[in-house]
Structure 1
Amino acid sequence: MFLGSSRPLGAKELWAPPKVKFFYWLVMHGRCWTAARRFRHGLQDSDTCIICDQGVETMDHILLGCVFSREVWALWLRRLHLDDLVHVHEEEAMQWWLRNRKLIPKPMRRGFDSLFFLIGWMLWKEWNARTFNRIATTATQLVQNIDDELNVWVLAGYRHLSSLQTLL
């Protein structure tokens, strides 16, 4: 039945709640309704990022390229003492993740995987709140929200994240 099928990029490493897995499936297939996609379909007048107003709002921009996203990543990486090891800049998000996970010490690697998915999911939720509800939080507030969600994920059984909690 599955003869000839291929495993999507990062499927083996993907360890997150089902809604987050589905979100990243949409990311990998370019199916998220970003400003660029809505603009391409004639649903809005501009494809510019709603937060930074500096670039085209693609998923790669939302996850890694926007100044807001980079600030959130910088705050998290600094808390984990990984800011000298991992550098965030706009590129294809899934490729960035797979390349940088190799730089992480092996005992922390799965925790980094889950953190990548958690931060990306929370950034996407922030974009949706800003786009559709006109509600904005600061990068520091979002980092706290991510920390709260991380604790919930650990309680739900995502034990690999607990390896990162010891660093916080």
Structure 2
Amino acid sequence: MEEGGLGLKDQEVWNKAMVGRLVNWIAEKRDSIWVQWVQCNYLRGRDWFEYSPSTNSSWVWRRICKVKQDLAQGFVDGVWVVQPTSWALPKHRFMGWLVAHEAMNTVDKLITYGMDVDACCTLCGQADESMAHLFFDCQYSRRVMLAMQQITSCSFPMAADFMWWANRGGTVVQKGVQIALFLGALYAIWFQRNKCRNYMVLMHPRQVVLQIHDSMKARIRGRGRENLSANDVSWLCHKNFM
């Protein structure tokens, strides 16, 4: 329910998510009898994302293909690029969801609710606070992102565009780490905004980034190298995460 209360799941979305798992299994050519059967009887060597079912195909197979078309933009070279956010902390992923849905209670929204608050951005004092300004146009936030790029040698979008990574190179792990860093930066900016607004205390942008970098390093080292390719280990070492 949109307004909450009973905690009932949206069955249409839930069904699409479950069917989406099958789409992903076919895309990654998972070692299973069902995927092998699909490859032999339906795809027969054809590209999964170029394939279209025939009109006499079963309803179930046409449903899988329909969901594949709906999710196609989330795949790059057969890899689901949204999946790597699992490298991010849950609170950072939640922050990313709020930013993507413009659900943050920034000052411009509080004013529309009738609250009497200072509209000026607490971090830079150069413009009124809105979501777009706070996270992407504010001079303090830009300094955080610039320091992040310098320390990690990675680049990040200056907008709430979570499909920005789709056209970038790199493995699933590499994209996942970069997305996690980006979400960590959004969370840190919001945290510093609240601390400055409540206590008039503000950390230097570079120190903020060093904390994000050290936190990511600890998570990566905690997972070990067992499930990482040699290419990923080399990349992570180059970025000083291992």
TM-score (norm 2): 0.55
Contact 2:108 2:130 in 1 (8 A): yes
Q: Is the 8 A contact 1:34 1:57 kept in 2?
A: yes
The reply to whether residue 106 of structure 1 matches residue 177 of structure 2 is no
Q: Which runs of 5+ in 2 are unaligned?
A: 1-8, 18-73, 75-80
Unaligned runs of at least 5 residues, structure 1: none
Aligned-residue sequence identity (percent) comes to 19
Q: Which residue of 2 aligns with 1:122?
A: 188
Distance 2:123 2:135 in 1: 12
Instruction: Quote how far apart the aligned CAs of 1:43 are.
Output: 2.2
Match of 2:119 among 21, 30, 47: 47
* SS of aligned partner of 1:54: coil
Contact 2:181 2:212 in 1 (8 A): no
The alpha-carbon distance between structure 1 residues 114 and 3, as it changes in their structure 2 partners (threshold 3 A), is same
Higher Rg: 2
Structure 1 residues 9-18 or 156-165, which shifts more?
156-165
2:203 paired residue number? 137
Amino acid at match of 1:114: A
Root mean square deviation, CA, Å:
3.1
Moved more, 112-121 or 143-152: 143-152
Query: In the alignment, does 2:145 pair up with 1:73?
Result: yes
The whole-number CA distance in structure 2 between the counterparts of 1:143 and 1:129 is 16
Q: How does 1:1-168 map to 2 (within 5 A)?
A: 2-5=10-13, 12-15=83-86, 16-82=88-154, 86=155, 89=158, 91=159, 93=160, 95=161, 97-99=162-164, 101-102=165-166, 104-107=168-171, 108-155=174-221, 157=223, 163-164=235-236, 166-168=238-240
CA distance in 2, matches of 1:68, 1:3: 42
Higher relative contact order (CA 8 A, sep 6+): 1
Measure the CA separation in 2 of the matches of 1:165 and 1:66: 32
Indicate how the Cα distance of structure 1 residues 58 and 156 shifts in structure 2: closer, same or farther if over 3 A, else same.
farther
In 2, are the aligned partners of 1:20 and 1:121 still within 8 Å (CA)? Answer: yes
Offset at residue 25 of structure 1 (A) = 2.4
Q: Aligned AA for 2:85? A: L
Paired residues in the alignment total: 159
Cα contact 2:120–2:128 (8 A) shared by 1: yes
Residue 76 of structure 1 and its aligned partner are, at CA, apart by 1.4
Matched-pair contact (CA < 8 Å) for 2:99–2:131: yes
The CA distance in 2 between the partners of 1:122 and 1:158, in whole Å, is: 26
TM-superposed CA distance for 1:44, in Å, is: 3.2
